[in-house]
Structure 1
């Protein structure tokens, strides 16, 4: 298939570069990415001038769709958006390339993602300004209390806590924190303005590491006002998410490529057995535990009932939902089974996953029934934060369902998982519709996610950290530790391949992109 899709990613990590590329490959599409030398490296910002030139070059080469992460275009990456000292005037000026591209290449579609700056609830400055190591939790709480005060929801006790925090955090640090947020908020407002002018056909504003009351949640309210007030001809959406946005932008591009009706066929509208063959991909969403869909997952500010539908729509797909999240009667292309958030809100970075067979059995039963439709089935496992549910994976394996899945995701936040599962579902459906899909690539990506999300994130990462004596997953490796970590992780992943039954693959080139245990990278090759 002719390469016509490009992506300016959120940063250089594999989830933002390799994963979107692999999702595009499911549909037989080559995804153009910037050269590694232009992208950020951890806390070092990318080459913003070079990235702007690269964006122009993709339009010059005839890319029909370009996905743009504005944090990278403006600041040079996700971390740079939080720590850079660049003035607002310079940042806003870097957005001008978008209007230039559309003016000179009106056939090129620009779709963008911009993040609401997070305020993580930790005293870890690895991805934040230096003062976060001393005042991070206080600043997170400060944002929540200021949000409550804005909504007249701050009681006397909260007012006292707010006063104490304002005393505890030096004024210059509070001012720097708010100035950075204000600068980035103005960039998001300008992005909304560009969407209203038609420069951006799509603008997705996402937020990670947030909560019901937080600095970011309040800013989303203000942005929501302008999104509704401006007469925008394209799509503007806001929802929880971050590192999955590359997959989402790829999925939107694939949907557009595959939306033309199939000519000369009476089945162009619905196809055989209810399969849709024209228009956007239709994703059926089902859950065996419908009451759990009402929960707000950790690090997010929306219940699953809302965020699931937003993720599907953000990918340019059409959600199909049955009664109480059961299997629907209406036609669909692909079915996504959601393994929903648990009541305990466990974070597998620090918590061991419990042996809880009830929810896993219910979800595995639903997966088995879903496969009876004869259509691709993907699983979005959001039971826990920062890793998948090992009990569910084991249940699917015992029942012979694991290697029959079209996709699986269960990593980091619910938004990350949902966006990945939706992107995979869209790509598989588009590949089938256009006859460009790759069974080899499908199995490779399925195995990769199972190894990363289940073997490493849910189990191995915690063991690795404890064995090496690291304080947290954000702690940088000390002398000699990274080599030990690579050796240990390599053994874990190879054992995982055998345990999961995917013996036709082997693991190579294991590494840690940011020199800590939180992220891992590896290659899968056939034996």
Structure 2
């Protein structure tokens, strides 16, 4: 028997003995579970719920979300007590929690406007956070809530306010504009008379109901600030839902900001917008888990640029963007060379925001289009990680910009994009997503871009308008805001148009072979556009 054979046999015997007597924990490789993040969105819209969760899941986290039957929607205001039961049952082993206070107090964002709970009930639910903190003392808790919106009219409310707002919404809005202005700078004699006239015109019981709802919301938000001061929350942000430079939302935000100013922006902020808050706080949770502070450099289109006061907002866009960067756990920087995200903001040079269904959004080059596309091309060419906040139009992409990006083959050379709803929704979402994609594989980044291009560009800025014009062609009852009997036919027709859009504008990704479009809120305003890879993503609904 050769010496090498003897040595080999002895070595194998020794190795076998080591394995036999090794502790069980060392003998088998222990499976490492992904970190779990609890996430309670403020409703079940795709952008609020699964599209936000998807971004974080692509980083390998287990994002645990309540089942749809517990989340609010347009017609079901949600179940706050059931959500409290759910969060207690699922908090074990979580590494962070991102929570909508609207869901746990009222049931949902729409529930915060239309509920019939009394003040004692909503304050009691808010106080439950104290017990939850006692039971989970080490769980980082990031909470986002809303300061009730003040729609400009009944039509603008989308039927998400009490019924009387359809008749008196414009009058109520104007009344609060004057009330806010009276506090800030005073009213002229004419405005004083107008306010008195509106106070008589609006039915007293309706105005009392609307202001009473706001009073309950304000009391809850004051309580949330107190909870933050008492270290129940690690961070709290209160979003100013659709508002204007003067209105009730702006007034209440001023007072709440004053109430919590001692906490500093590292603990508490009020911000323009609301639907983007979940993405910002999910980014904050991940950044804190990674002990990371991403640097963000911001560049605007020429003209008004940072001084633009966009539609549905009450402040300059540069203020909103600075606040969003802080909310997401990042830091603004003044040099693109130092940045982890180069945020490029597509504003109109004249400082105005148009609607995506406007005739001007036909893809023709406008003032500022080529300049902005040149900027994007230059930054991408230098290797900077570019994200685009496309806010020249609200509720959809700027077709002229997208044509330029397609022509220059930049669509999948940038790292993040958003242009789906209000300007602050879009800028906030791309900030949160843009901070996180730098840690993702290229295929995952492309999949997220595809979702936004299909939704924001394909559907919101193009297909939605065409379908709206064709609604009368379809049989059955149904209109833009309530599809009803036309809902299935609209889905099929929209899918056909979306497939055509993808063929004409996007590379032949395998996931685009199947595109499905659903309307979970029974209206055309938002859709659930799914492509094959997107459908395969598993969402943890427990």
Same fold per superposition (TM over 0.5) = yes
The reply on whether 1:520 has 2:523 as its aligned counterpart is no
Look up the match of 2:176.
Answer: 143
| Alignment CA distance shift 1:158-1:27 (3 Å) | same
For the pair 1:392 / 2:401, whether they are aligned, the reply is yes
* CA displacement, residues 462-516 of structure 1 (integer Å, 9 cap, x when unaligned): 221121149998621143x212211221122111211222322234331111101
- Report the equivalent of 1:33: 65
Which residue of the partner structure matches residue 27 of structure 2?
none
SS of residue paired to 2:367? helix
CA contact (8 A) 1:126 1:474 kept: no
Question: Which residue is 1:497 aligned to?
Answer: 502
Matching residue of 1:269:
none
1:76 and 1:342 map into 2 onto residues whose CA distance is 41
Q: Decide which of 432, 438, 450 is 1:423's aligned counterpart.
A: 432
User: In the TM superposition, what are the counterparts of 1:374-453 in structure 2 within 5 Å?
Assistant: 374-429=383-438, 431=439, 437-453=440-456
- State the superposition RMSD in angstroms: 2.1
Q: How does 1:456-467 map to 2 (within 5 A)?
A: 456-467=459-470
Change (3 A) 1:361 1:512: same
Counterpart of 1:96 (choices 96, 104, 127) is 127
Q: Tell me the residue number matched to 1:133.
A: 166
**Count of residue pairs the alignment pairs up:** 493
Contact kept in structure 2, 1:286 and 1:337, CA below 8 Å: yes
Shift of 1:406: 1.3
Corresponding residue number in structure 2 for 1:273 = none
The structure-2 alpha-carbon separation of the partners of 1:338 and 1:252, relative to structure 1 and needing over 3 Å to count, comes to same
State whether residues 189 and 223 of structure 1, in contact with CA within 8 Å, keep that contact through their aligned partners in structure 2.
yes
Q: What's the TM-score once normalised by structure 2's chain length?
A: 0.87
Residue 348 of structure 1: how far off its partner (Å)? 2.1
CA distance in 1, matches of 2:199, 2:434: 47
Normalising by structure 1, we get a TM-score of 0.89
SS at match of 1:296: coil
Q: Does 1:292 align with 2:299?
A: no
Using a 3 Å threshold, how does the CA distance of structure 1 residues 494 and 5 change in structure 2: closer, same or farther? same
Cα contact 2:317–2:424 (8 A) shared by 1: no
Residues of 1 paired with 2:484 and 2:142: CA distance? Answer: 41
Does the residue aligned with 1:119 lie in a helix, a strand or coil? coil
Residue 198 (structure 1) shift: 0.8
CA contact (8 A) 1:198 1:234 kept: no
Quote the residue 1:236 is aligned against: 268
Which 10-residue stretch deviates more, 419-428 or 93-102?
93-102
Per-residue displacement from partner, 1:349-380 (whole Å, max 9, x unpaired)? 45551534332211211111111332422111
In structure 1, C-alpha distance between the alignment counterparts of 2:192 and 2:315, rounded to whole Å:
26
Q: Following the alignment from structure 1 to structure 2, what is the Cα–Cα distance between the partners of residues 108 and 492?
A: 46
| Residues 315-336 of structure 1 deviation map (CA, whole Å, 9 limit, x = unaligned) | 11112234xxxxx34x121222
Greater CA drift, 291-300 or 503-512: 503-512
Q: 1:387 deviation in Å?
A: 0.9
Distance 2:453 2:265 in 1: 40
Q: For the structure 1 residues 104 and 290, does the alpha-carbon distance in structure 2 shift closer, same or farther, using more than 3 Å as the test?
A: farther
Query: Is structure 2 residue 38 aligned with structure 1 residue 6?
Result: yes
Does residue 64 in structure 1 map to residue 105 in structure 2?
no
Q: Could you say if the C-alpha distance between residues 167 and 233 of structure 1 is closer, same or farther in structure 2, counting changes exceeding 3 Å?
A: closer
Q: Distance in 2 between matches of 1:149 and 1:20?
A: 39
Deviates more, 1:380-389 or 1:363-372: 363-372
Conservation of the 8 A alpha-carbon contact between 2:478 and 2:484: no
Instruction: Find the counterpart in structure 1 of residue 331 from structure 2.
Output: 318
Deviates more, 1:366-375 or 1:302-311: 366-375
Partner in structure 2 of residue 20 of structure 1: 52
| Alignment partner of 1:192 is 2:201 | no
**Counterpart of 1:408 in 2: which secondary structure?**
strand
Unaligned segments of structure 1, at least 5 residues: 260-278, 323-327, 432-436
Deviations 1:446-477 (A, max 9, x none): 01111111111112212211211499986211
Does the CA-based 8 Å contact 2:301-2:348 persist in structure 1?
Answer: no
SS where residue 141 of structure 2 aligns? strand
Larger displacement relative to structure 2 (193-202 or 122-131):
122-131
Q: Is the 8 A contact 2:266 2:326 kept in 1?
A: no
Aligned to 2:240: 207
Select which of 478, 482, 486 maps to 1:476: 482
Partner of 1:272: none
CA 1:200/1:526 → structure 2, altered by over 3 Å: closer, same or farther? closer
Aligned positions of 1:308-347 closer than 5 A: 308-322=321-335, 328-329=336-337, 331-341=338-348, 343=350, 344-347=352-355
Please give the alpha-carbon distance, in whole angstroms, between the structure 2 residues aligned to 1:172 and 1:474.
30
Question: What is the DSSP-based 3-state SS (H/G/I as helix, E as strand, rest coil) of the residue aligned with 1:302?
Answer: coil
Q: Contact 2:498 / 2:515 at 8 angstroms: preserved in 1? A: no
Q: CA deviation at 1:41?
A: 2.9
Structure 1 SS opposite 2:260? helix
Contact 1:286 1:321 in 2 (8 A): no
Aligned counterpart in structure 1 of residue 369 of structure 2, from 352, 357, 360: 360
Tell me if structure 2 keeps the 8 A contact 1:451–1:497.
yes
| Superposed counterparts of 1:97-176, under 5 Å | 97-124=128-155, 126-176=159-209
Shift of 1:28: 2.4
Q: 1:283 to 1:482 in 2, by over 3 A?
A: same
The match for 2:114 is 83
Q: CA 1:97 to 1:439, structure 2 compared with 1: closer, same or farther past 3 Å?
A: farther
3-state SS in 2 of match to 1:404: coil
Give 3-state SS (helix, strand or coil) of 2:412's partner.
helix
Alpha-carbon distance in 1 for matches of 2:340, 2:382: 10
